Amino acid sequence: MLVIHPTHQAFARAVGSRRGQMIVGIASGERAVAHIDGSGALADLDEVIAHEVAHLLLAQAVGGARVPRWFDEGYAEHACGSLEWASRELLADHLEMGRLASLDELSDSFPRDGQAAAVAYAQSHALVAYLLREAPAGALPKLARRLRAGEKFENAVIAATGMSVSAWDEAWRRDFHGPSRWYPWIAFLAGASGIAMSVLCLLAYRAIRRRIEALDEGDEYDRPISIRRARRWRRR
């Protein structure tokens, strides 16, 4: 069941969140219900709905078995199509400084507010996306079946993927390759290209103006004209 509240205030009252908390959705796998801030004021509504539905479907798939919070949130972020690269800079900076939380710290609860929460979600999303991308085909359904059968999460991950949780965490951190600085460079190059094109257009326009001004006085083109008209004059 999805309960979509028309305003953020109504959502906050229903779920008991404190003022200032940037919470827009809460799902309870045990009750199979999710409450959602339907105002769209703080986050894209379609993405929030997909995120909370992913929580409910994962809980259903594992039969209510315990799943670490980092996996639950990371899977929901991955399933709803959240852009992983959007938080890579923040994640890369914390990884480089050794300030990422351990999976044990993210197993039962997440930070509620601020940058710590953003980093926790980004870290979980990146790890789960990496695990699902690199694990053997069919690993996720196999993991869900083992959890539903009552197997502990750590053992189920090893059986489904061939690696332990700690090994996946180490592999992801090792393969992250430090700060991701490629998109600022793309933006810079795009800006540089735009500036270069503007300069070329200006130079071309000035060259046309000089040729027009060089005409005999009284010529019908001896006035400011468009580049299109100048080209028509050149063909004559």
pLDDT of residue 192: 52
Residue 72, SS3?
A: helix
Show the beta-strand stretches assigned E in 53-152.
none
| Phi, psi dihedrals of residue 34, rounded to the nearest 5° | -130, 135
Show the beta-strand stretches assigned E in the chain.
2-5, 25-28, 33-37
Residue 4 is classified by DSSP as E
**Measured distance CA(35)–CA(142) in Å, rounded:** 29
What averages of pLDDT result for each successive group of 10 residues across the chain (236 residues)? 95 88 90 95 94 97 96 96 80 88 94 85 95 96 98 98 97 75 47 59 58 45 35 39
**Measured distance CA(11)–CA(135) in Å, rounded:** 38
pLDDT of residue 90: 85
**Which H or E run contains 28?**
strand 25-28
